[in-house]
Homo-oligomer: A and B are copies of this chain.
Amino acid sequence: MTPAARARARRGEGERLREELVDATEQLIEELGDADAVSIRAICDAVGVSPPSVYLHFADKDQLLFAVCARVFSRLDDVMNRAAATAGDDPVEALRRRGQAYVRYGLEHPENYRLLFMAKPSGPPEHLDQVHMPGSVAFVHLQEAVQACVDCGAFRPDVDAYMAAVAIWTGVHGVTSLLISIPDFPWPERDALVANICANQVRALSV
């Protein structure tokens, strides 16, 4: 990889490099197909900077990867919200689209998905509380979407939105992660499988 030409940031604009590093890392993870294979050196080559400059912005490599996680979580939340918004005022359809968008995003960015949900757990940088963990927002949105289905009478009134949201999350994660991890299994056609799983989830919660 030939180093990109990069002009040094002007005074006060040092933070620009931080964003460029996160960008490059997110992209390299997909390109190299393995977050472990993404080295500090490769990231710096891609940005056009020398390895030590990473440490101007991140205490260590883990914190750079954590920044990537935060960004990917926020993208994932975005695509789910946008998908849900296309469902008109049908909460069940919105929930279904939310789930399908989750799976689609995971399959389109398998290595970043792996970083979020399949990697070894590594502690967050600070004593970050649960509420501010990246990913919490997306889960809250899911929980609200389930509650909307209960409120409109489509789901049984005894459905606990929290428990159901957890169950749905594990459901969509299951198919996404196995498709990523075991691509050689003789899977049924993907869209049919995902539709089937989402339908099962809805069926199990419906009145």
Contact = CB atoms under 8 A, between A and B. Distances in A.
A105 interface: no
Interface string A159-197: 000110011011111110110011110111000110011
30 contacts: A34-B120, A36-B36, A117-B177, A117-B181, A118-B118, A118-B181, A120-B181, A121-B182, A121-B183, A121-B184, A130-B184, A130-B186, A163-B196, A166-B188, A167-B175, A167-B197, A169-B174, A169-B178, A170-B174, A170-B178, A170-B193, A170-B197, A171-B174, A173-B178, A174-B174, A199-B204, A200-B204, A200-B205, A203-B203, A204-B204
A201 interface: yes
A interface: dominant SS: helix
Nearest to A193: B166
A4 interface: no
Interface string A103-122: 00000000000000111110
A149 to B, nearest CB: 14
Contacts of A172: 174
B163 A193 contact: yes
A154 to B, nearest CB: 15
Given A174-B174, A174-B175, A201-B204, A167 B196 contact: yes
Contacts of A117: 177-178, 181-182
Contacts of A170: 171, 174-175, 178, 193, 197
Contacts of A175: 167, 170, 174
